[in-house]
Chain A
């Protein structure tokens, strides 16, 4: 009977109840739409990070905290054995999609045509493994990164950032749009004699693809210190130019074949790598894979450490915190609006039904039951509003997802589709639905308490 009275009473003043429910519904939908949007963005960030650098990276112990300034001296020796150990481990094997070495390096690049130079930050990788890593698609987002176009059997070529090309005065020779020429009086460093006399290591003749496949490409010279401290120079053909989202990255961006990077960093010495990347099939396996790697390294007395993509890409955690704080802010505002709206509606309902409250109390209904009656009505208003809101959110998601709208995230060079990832937000949907129903119930507390405490004779006299 209590449910019957509550349900029918809600629709006694249907306009007011509907307005209240719509307020809750819009609030619910707003929170869910934002949550689904944030979730999609977080998954885009994760997909980008995992496509580029996998889930876990193995480094020499101490590199992550102390070695970024000089990756050459922190190289992992006999890295192929370590990679094989990881690939062949029966625990890791089913979890792992790609295991691949990577070399980080930095140095100075020069355009031999005009003498222009600038510093660069480069990554050397195995192109086929990088291509395989770009197939990772746990959240059905699709490939986030453009394929570099590099090949395992052509170690001569590399890809540079647009800003880097502009700085080296390569716009014209690379036929780049949106890439102005440098001013005529651009200052040029005098090259020290000892650098100028260094022999160039040109790998163009080693390319299995051969010159017949490749049109003549502009070349740059890359100068870096080897692990032994001696300067070394290699020549790299520029295969492609890729604009990077952040200017400081774009101005120094170079990626190349691992062999070329190793040649530059290690010269004729033992070729090592900075890290070994593991890309897993599923992100949820990170803790298990990490624990297994640590067990393996301890068992084989390897001085290696493991870092995950969140530690390496600090912007990921920052973005997550940003979205969480935004969501909390929106949730608080909507919670307060719902609280006051429902409280007002229930307060008016108590006022209008004062005589009815007196009658039911006279008939023998206890105070507690009167309180429960109005709390139940608050809960039902919240429940119906929140349910309606979930429906609205799904409709909004369907509309937005099919709209074809795009946007460019901060630090990204390419636009991504504006999408709401409702399918992955099941926990948030249930959470928001429950919380707003509870807020609505709590909002009814004071009116319900007032109703319960009404003196019966005063309530019966109320007109």
Chain B
């Protein structure tokens, strides 16, 4: 934790406007924000306040209308589509609300997939993916496809997939929303443990009070703007 306190994400005056015909909707309005590296940060906001949009901009799967986004020291606005894809493959892990595992791949293959995209050799892929499945407690289920797994198991696979390439940043959009409270609590505990073990920056968009209670830092959004400066959670 030597560099705890440096920024994994820096946003400067970021805006995002959607156009529906002649109507322009400003989803993000001039946000300037730094997210500390190796923190468990929560992005908290009511529905429609822009937290998923902000998460998409930070995840480099959407581009801002204005402002700059810097992830792990890289100004992503300058990157072309392929370079941005490669950047995501190396730097960012995603955990989705609906798990979003690739249905035709087994649990093991889903976890191995990001390593393949990162160009890891076969031996490394096998060792790392198996270790990650072991860490999330799914070694026995490694050959099962997503439709043979429970919701909690799917999210464990998704967590393993997000962390397997040791990304600088893991983004999770409502990761417990589709889980019952006990499974959700287990997943939160798992993510907390994995974050500590992997020393990675986690950024969540969530409503889940249990998840929020685990935050190192909370960022609150309201109407596409920061409601209050980011700060250490109590």
Measuring CB to CB, which residues of chain A are less than 8 angstroms from any residue of chain B?
A: 1, 4-5, 8-9, 12, 355-356, 358-368, 455-457, 460
Contacts and interface: CB of A to CB of B under 8 A. Distances in A.
Contacts of A366: 81-82, 85-86
Nearest to A360: B102
A359 B103 CA distance: 11
A365 B94 CA distance: 13
Which DSSP category, helix, strand, loop or mixed, fits chain A's interface? helix
A359 B96 contact: yes
A12 B86 CA distance: 29
Given A364-B89, A364-B90, A5 B102 contact: yes
Given A12-B103, A457-B62, A363 B109 contact: no
Given A8-B104, A356-B103, A359-B96, A364 B61 contact: no
B184 interface: no
B88 A363 contact: yes
Given A356-B103, A363-B113, A366-B81, A457 B86 contact: no
B40 to A, nearest CB: 21
Q: 8 smallest A-B Cβ distances: which pairs?
A: A364-B89, A8-B104, A456-B61, A359-B100, A364-B88, A366-B85, A364-B117, A457-B62
A365 B117 contact: yes
Given A359-B96, A360-B102, A364-B114, A456 B90 contact: no
B56 interface: yes
Given A364-B85, A365-B85, A365-B117, A456 B94 contact: no
A325 to B, nearest CB: 44
Contacts of B101: 359
Given A359-B96, A457-B61, A364 B116 contact: no
Interface string B82-120: 100111111000101010111111000100011011100
A4 to B, nearest CB: 7
Nearest to B61: A456
A116 B100 CA distance: 95
A149 B15 CA distance: 100
Contacts of A356: 100, 102-103
Contacts of A359: 94, 96, 100-102
Nearest to A1: B116
A12 B62 CA distance: 30
Contacts of A456: 56, 61-62
Interface string B30-67: 00000000000000000000000000100101100000
B98 to A, nearest CB: 8
A187 B197 CA distance: 117
Interface of B: 56, 59, 61-62, 81-82, 85-90, 94, 96, 98, 100-105, 109, 113-114, 116-118, 161
Given A363-B94, A364-B87, A457-B61, 18 more contacts: A1-B113, A5-B102, A355-B98, A355-B100, A356-B102, A359-B96, A359-B101, A362-B94, A363-B89, A363-B117, A364-B85, A364-B86, A364-B89, A364-B114, A365-B117, A456-B56, A460-B96, A460-B100
7 contacts: A5-B104, A359-B101, A363-B113, A364-B87, A364-B114, A365-B85, A456-B56
A4 B100 CA distance: 18
A367 B83 CA distance: 11
B199 to A, nearest CB: 21
Contacts of A9: 104
Contacts of B62: 455-457
B105 A4 contact: yes
Nearest to B94: A362
Contacts of A8: 104-105
Contacts of B96: 359, 460
B100 A367 contact: no
Contacts of A455: 62
B102 to A, nearest CB: 6
A1 B109 contact: yes
A355 B61 CA distance: 13
Contacts of B56: 456-457
Contacts of A460: 61, 96, 100
Contacts of A368: 82
A90 to B, nearest CB: 64
Contacts of A457: 56, 61-62
A363 B114 contact: yes
Contacts of B118: 364
Given A359-B96, A362-B94, A457-B62, A5 B105 contact: yes
A458 to B, nearest CB: 10
Contacts of B117: 363-365
Nearest to A6: B104
Contacts of B105: 4-5, 8
B74 to A, nearest CB: 14
Contacts of A5: 102, 104-105
B94 A367 contact: no
Contacts of A4: 104-105, 109
Contacts of A364: 85-90, 114, 117-118
Contacts of A367: 81-82, 85
A362 B170 CA distance: 12
Contacts of B103: 12, 356
Nearest to A355: B100
A456 B88 CA distance: 12
